[in-house]
């Protein structure tokens, strides 16, 4: 009996595992084809100067328009892209696309803004990254100072020496660096201060709790003050209410980004937004 039960259990277990494995394999296979089939899109979310309301940057955000499915947000496929190594070619596509888009806007006479590109820490570990960026900037003609690379604290946790070398190479070119989702990782500001960074993005989770949670408000104010002392630009992400905006501005946060100002926009809508805000 025990044997029989064991076998049934095993079959049940292996059946559901197979279903999961199959689903993952299918997803992985379509992700492999997604680049060739041109299924990725970039949207752009404006970053505004908190004092003047002028657009200072556009963050490129990736999504996957998988045929027959709802649009797949990055959090649902970037981890798989990282596990499979596909992140290298996807990340390359993002860089080319975002830089080419920024140059198109310049040529259209729109006010110059930075374009911010998110990098996976895996991408970042490759020594090829600096070469790639150099190639993309040269081929598209984007001035290096118009490119901001968003990295996460994960980059500093391992391979600190390699990370520092790559950042230094890119900084020499004139590219800007910001630390994304700041406050969610374990790195301290003193550790970050060893790297030549330009900006710090306060994570949405702090901004969200500003009004309800005095501790979050205090922490946010402290992060802004310390970052400014280190000479870093501060960008708050996920700003949704006027109350959050007022608090951030009063505490010296230089730049803001969030649904209060704009959702991520298609390239055409982003151009229209830029045009409307240029006078
Ligand atoms: P992130 O870089 O921190 O991007 C901000 C995310 O917050 C975006 O989600 C954006 O749509 C969302 N957001 C912006 N304003 C608000 C707001 O006011 N309220 C709320 N609730 N959300 C807001 P999205 O597009 O789903 O991107 C999620 C994450 O995926 C990004 O977080 C980034 O880490 C990653 N990602 C996006 N594009 C790329 C890419 O090209 N390469 C890599 N490696 N990662 C990417
Ligand atoms: Mg980002
Ligand atoms: Mg973020
Ligand atoms: Mg994030």
Residue 74 is given by DSSP the state G
Bridge partners, residue 202, by sequence: 182, 236
Give the position, in ligand 1's atom list, of the atom nearest the Cα of 181: 3
pLDDT at position 2: 47
Q: Model-level pTM?
A: 0.93
CA dihedral sign, ordered 3, 9, 11, 14: negative
Question: Among 61, 181, 242, which is best to mutate for testing ligand 1, by the most ligand atoms less than 8 A from CB?
Answer: 61
Query: What is the complex's ipTM, to 2 decimals?
Result: 0.98
73 and 63 Cβ atoms separated by less than 8 Å: yes
Is residue 55 classed as helix, strand or coil in its secondary structure? strand
| Residue 1, pLDDT score | 52
Separation between Cα atoms, residue 250 and residue 253, nearest integer Å: 8
Report CA-CA distances (Å) from 276 to 103, 104, 183, 279.
Answer: 19, 17, 34, 7
Ligand that comes closest to the CA of residue 182: 3
Residue closest by Cα to atom 16 of ligand 1: 238
CA 11 to ligand 4 center in whole angstroms: 39
Per-10-residue mean pLDDT for the chain, 279 residues long? Answer: 50 68 88 96 98 97 95 96 95 98 97 97 84 97 98 82 88 96 82 89 95 94 94 97 98 98 98 88
Report every protein residue that has its C-beta within 5 angstroms of ion ligand 4.
181
- For the purposes of burial, counting CB atoms within 10 Å of the CB of 245, is it exposed (0-12), middle (13-18) or buried (19 or more)? buried
| Residue nearest (by alpha carbon) to ligand 1 atom 21 | 238
For residue 75, give the ligand 1 atom closest to its CA: 30
């Amino acid at each position: 009996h025990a044997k029989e039960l064991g076998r049934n259990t095993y079959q049940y277990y292996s059946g559901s595992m197979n279903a999961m494995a199959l689903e993952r394999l299918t997803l992985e296979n379509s992700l492999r084809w997604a680049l060739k089939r041109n299924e990725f899109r970039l949207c752009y979310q404006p970053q505004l100067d908190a004092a003047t309301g002028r657009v200072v940057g556009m963050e490129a955000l990736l999504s996957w328009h998988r045929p027959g499915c709802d649009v797949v947000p990055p959090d649902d496929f970037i981890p798989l892209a990282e596990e499979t190594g596909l992140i290298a070619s996807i990340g390359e596509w993002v860089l080319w696309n975002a830089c080419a888009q920024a140059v198109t806007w310049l040529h259209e006479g729109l006010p110059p803004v930075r374009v911010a590109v998110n990098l996976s820490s895996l991408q970042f570990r490759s020594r090829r990254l600096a070469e790639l960026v150099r190639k993309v900037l040269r081929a598209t003609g984007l001035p290096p100072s118009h490119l901001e690379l968003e990295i996460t604290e994960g980059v500093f946790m391992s391979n600190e020496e390699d990370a520092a070398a790559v950042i230094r190479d890119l900084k020499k070119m004139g590219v800007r660096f910001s630390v994304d989702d700041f406050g969610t990782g374990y790195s301290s500001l003193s550790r970050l201060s060893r790297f030549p960074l330009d900006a710090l993005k306060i994570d949405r989770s702090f901004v969200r709790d500003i009004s309800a949670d005095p501790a979050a408000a205090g922490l946010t104010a402290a992060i802004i003050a310390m970052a400014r002392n280190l000479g870093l630009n501060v960008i708050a992400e996920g700003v949704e209410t006027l109350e959050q905006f007022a608090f951030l501005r009063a505490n010296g946060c230089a730049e803001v980004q969030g649904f209060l100002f704009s959702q991520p926009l298609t390239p055409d809508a982003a151009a229209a937004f830029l045009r409307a805000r240029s006078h």
